[in-house]
Amino acid sequence: MTTKKTALILGALLCCGLAGCGIPKDQYNAKVQEAQQLKDSLDAAAKHNIELQNQLNQMRAEHQLMSAKLAQLGQDVQSLLGEKSMLSSDLEETRAREARLRAEREAQVARMAKYREIIEKFKTLVDSGKLKIRLVNGQMVVEMASNILFDTGKAELSAEGKEALLQLAAILATIDDRKFQVAGHTDNVPIRSKKFPSNWELSTARAVTVVKYMQDNGVNPTSISAAGYAEFSPADTNDTAEGQAANRRIEITLLPNWDELPDLSDLEKDVKK
């Protein structure tokens, strides 16, 4: 029942009651005024009730909005935590990579210093023309012409060759943290002798001769090895006499240490398949 209907019913009952009782007019008017006041109070209460309902609806809407914002903030926090974890991981990887690069750079600087030191030791022999130093595929190669060390078609050292190798062996004996490979090379002129059926045998025999002579003169045998390449690793063309002379040579390569080789540990699982 609405407030308006309630007020009408109260007024009607009041009028009927007053009329039936025959009360004085002033009492009647007082009752009418009292009824009006009650009606006004009811109207005010109804209005206030509507206002409260509107406020409640607004608060519910604000609560829903805040709940949605809170849920979004929770998602944002989780996202930020995930990003923080990724950034932390990236930072650790970056630091590790920087540390590796720094270590590699320091190792490279140390290697360059060592190479310069070795080159300086060879300076007298280089200046005298008895040997040359080249960098081949990132490795230091000491080259000596075969005509200084050997007579044509021979694998025995000449007197001049022994003198040159004696000086070289004295230097190599002081380099105790390196391994060396002595490689014999020839031109493309076939030899076909009874002792050396091909340039393979000649180049290998010359390399072995150099290794043995160096071993006899102070070079650690565990740090030196021999190899022969015949005419198949030329330093120059074989189309000219000058090129052929350049190809007849002994090369001593400073081999890289294990810690200078690339890390192939990731390939172990593939090798074991």
- In this prediction, residue 269 carries a pLDDT of 59
Higher local confidence (pLDDT), 139 or 188:
188
Q: DSSP labels for 156-218?
A: SBPHHHHHHHHHHHHHHTT-TT-EEEEEEE--S-----SS-SSHHHHHHHHHHHHHHHHHHTT
Chain segment 214-259, per-residue pLDDT in tens: 999 999 999 999 999 999 999 999 999 999 999 999 999 998 876 6
In the sheet that 249-255 helps form, which strands lie side by side, from edge to edge?
Answer: 132-136, 139-145, 249-255, 179-185, 224-228
* pLDDT for res 262: 59
Report if pTM > 0.85. Answer: no
pLDDT-based confidence at 3, cuts 50/70/90? low
What average pLDDT is seen over the chain? 87
* pLDDT at residue 138, rounded to an integer: 79
For residue 11, pLDDT over 80 is answered with: no
Please state, in angstroms and rounded to a whole number, the distance separating the CA atoms of residues 88 and 43.
66
pLDDT for 9 equals 56
Q: Mean pLDDT, to the nearest integer, of 194-220? A: 97
Give the confidence band of 82 by pLDDT, cuts at 50, 70, 90: confident
Structure tokens at 81: 């935590």
Please state the rounded mean pLDDT for residues 163-168: 93
Q: What confidence score (pLDDT) does residue 135 get? A: 87
Share of the chain above pLDDT 90, in %: 51
Burial 139-149 (b: 16+ CB within 10 A, else e): ebbbbbbbebb
What CA–CA distance (Å, rounded) separates 180 from 211?
10
**pLDDT at residue 164, as a whole number:** 92
pLDDT of residue 159: 94
- Strand 224-228 to strand 179-185: parallel, antiparallel, or no bridges (unpaired)? parallel
Tell me the pLDDT band of 98, cut-offs 50, 70 and 90.
very high
272 vs 69, which has greater pLDDT? 69
Q: Other CB atoms closer than 10 Å to residue 62's CB: what's the count?
A: 10
> What is the reported pLDDT for 265?
59
3-state helix, strand, coil in the chain (%, to 5): 65, 10, 25
Closest listed residue to residue 188, CA positions, set 145, 239, 228: 239
Tens digits of residue pLDDT in 21-41: 567 888 888 888 888 899 889
Q: What dotted CATH number matches 128-260?
A: 3.30.1330.60
Locate the DSSP E strands across the chain. 132-136, 139-145, 179-185, 224-228, 249-255
pLDDT score, position 114: 83
